[in-house]
Amino acid sequence: MPKPEKIEKVNELKEKFEPRSSVILTEYRGLSVEDISNLRIELKKRDVEYRVIKNTLAKLAVEGTPYEELSPWLEGPVAAAFVDGDATAAAKALLDFTRAHPALKLKGGILQGKLMDAAQVRALATLPPREVMLARLAGSLRSPVARLHNSLSSFTRNLAYVLQQVADQKEKAA
């Protein structure tokens, strides 16, 4: 029979997973408490909660949810980054931290319902920020319209030049 404290912790973990669109799992073996605290501070700036989780309780919490696919990675010392904001910024912060502290290992995660392994999380971290991608999209959408405008306006511009030259020639002849 499960203890009420354990049931409460499972429910608490379930509440952590449920509203999040993204969760990234890491292995923190070899990191000091100070390192983990520094990582928490960095992630907090990006609307990410970083929390060490108990594997057995986490497996119970994700059972029957879209996060159940994370179960194979819930082995060994695991911490979860619960992302509220931009998942790219969270992945980038975790990747930057792994460069400075190689003991931190990315395991994988779920991004808006899609399972991602460690390599895919690294690829996500290398994407430019959302604002840059939107600006690039706007520029690429604007480009064909601008070229069409230039092509259409060149006809009227050229007609005006031709008419001006004809008027200049008639003036010289007169």
**91-147 pLDDT tens trace:** 999 999 999 999 999 999 998 888 899 899 998 888 887 788 888 888 877 777 777
| pTM for this entry | 0.72
Based on DSSP, count helices (H) and strands (E) in the chain, helices before strands.
Answer: 6, 5
* Residue 76 pLDDT level (bands cut at 50, 70, 90): confident
- Name the strands in the sheet holding 48-53, side by side, starting at the edge strand that comes first in the sequence: 48-53, 78-83, 22-27, 105-111, 114-117
Q: What is the pLDDT of residue 1?
A: 46
Distances (CA, A) of 119 to 4, 22, 89, 125: 39, 16, 16, 10
**Residue 53 CB burial class (10 angstroms; 0-12, 13-18, ≥19):** buried
Query: Of residues 156 and 56, which shows the higher confidence score?
Result: 56
Both tokens of residue 59? 């497996």
Mean pLDDT across the stretch 41-68?
87
